[in-house]
Amino acid sequence: MLKVINGEISFKELLLLQDINLEINSSELTIIIGPNGSGKTSLLNVLAGTTKLSKGSLHNSFNKKILIPQNLYYPEDVTLFDYVSSVFYREKFKWFLTKDDVERVFCVLEKLNLRKKQELTLNKLSAGELQLANIALCLISEADLILLDEPTSNLDLVNQLMILDMIKELTNHEISVIVVMHDINLASKYGDKFLLTSHNFNLIHGDKHWVLTNQNLSDAYNIDIEKLGLYTCF
């Protein structure tokens, strides 16, 4: 479980979120939504442990976390196999992959239908395949908490659904996933819990019936969601 008590996120004198009280449980897909500039990525980084709270406390009982940011640099001359297997070198000082390491990579790539493309360089992969490569990296790391910043951005609907199906499947294996998304309708179909940020510095946390109401969304985005027909409340 990951728990934040009376948290606050600010940078210098800029307040982003206050009164943060939330719990991230095992085997759940938690989706962070909200308007641009309302602190979604900052919240994700706090939950990942790469940024500290300005106030409050964070308690983590997950064994291992891995964060995949939105803007990644993909070296053109690196193969898919080398990219996903790089997680072994990040975890500890080592010079080579063992036979078990290689088999683990093969197994995950096979699971994601990427085995036939393992020798392709990253610049020859589609956007959807690159996102699957990031999922592979997460699986190989054996993290029980995965944090993804907009993994469906720049993807068409088919690839968005493919990535979200794969992310949702991870939660069936005692893995918790936290995802930043913009598409409220897709988020509502896949998420177990939601974190709604807004420019009034508040954070609403809970299931979709509690968080994704027309009133909450209208307040967060400062528009009439129901009148515009952008989202249908459950």
Coil vs helix vs strand at 203: strand
pLDDT of residue 28 exceeding 80: yes
- Neighbouring-strand partners of residue 32: 180, 195
230: confidence class by pLDDT, cuts 50, 70, 90:
low
The dihedral formed by the CA atoms of 158, 159, 164 and 169, expressed in degrees to the nearest 10: 100
Backbone φ, ψ for residue 127 (5° rounding): -60, -40
Nearest to 223 by CA among 40, 15, 35: 35
44: confidence class by pLDDT, cuts 50, 70, 90:
very high
User: Is the CB of residue 118 less than 8 Å from the CB of residue 81?
Assistant: yes
- CATH 3.40.50.300 location in the chain: 1-63+145-234
Nearest-angstrom CA–CA distance, 151 and 141? 18
Nearest-angstrom CA–CA distance, 172 and 174? 6
Predicted TM-score (pTM) above 0.95:
no
pLDDT score of 91: 61
Q: Where are the alpha helices (DSSP H) in the chain?
A: 40-48, 80-91, 99-111, 127-141, 157-170, 184-190, 208-211, 214-221, 225-228
For the domain made up of 1-63+145-234, give the CATH fold: Rossmann fold (3.40.50)
What is the per-residue pLDDT across 83-108, written as a single tens digit (0 to 9) for each?
999 888 766 666 778 899 899 999 99
What is the per-residue pLDDT across 162-198, written as a single tens digit (0 to 9) for each?
889 989 999 998 999 999 999 999 999 999 999 999 9
What is the per-residue pLDDT across 122-135, written as a single tens digit (0 to 9) for each?
999 988 899 899 99
Backbone φ, ψ for residue 103 (5° rounding): -65, -35
User: Side chain identity at 80, as an amino acid letter?
Assistant: L
Mean pLDDT of the chain: 89
Range scoring the smallest mean pLDDT among 25-29, 83-87, 164-168, 224-228: 224-228
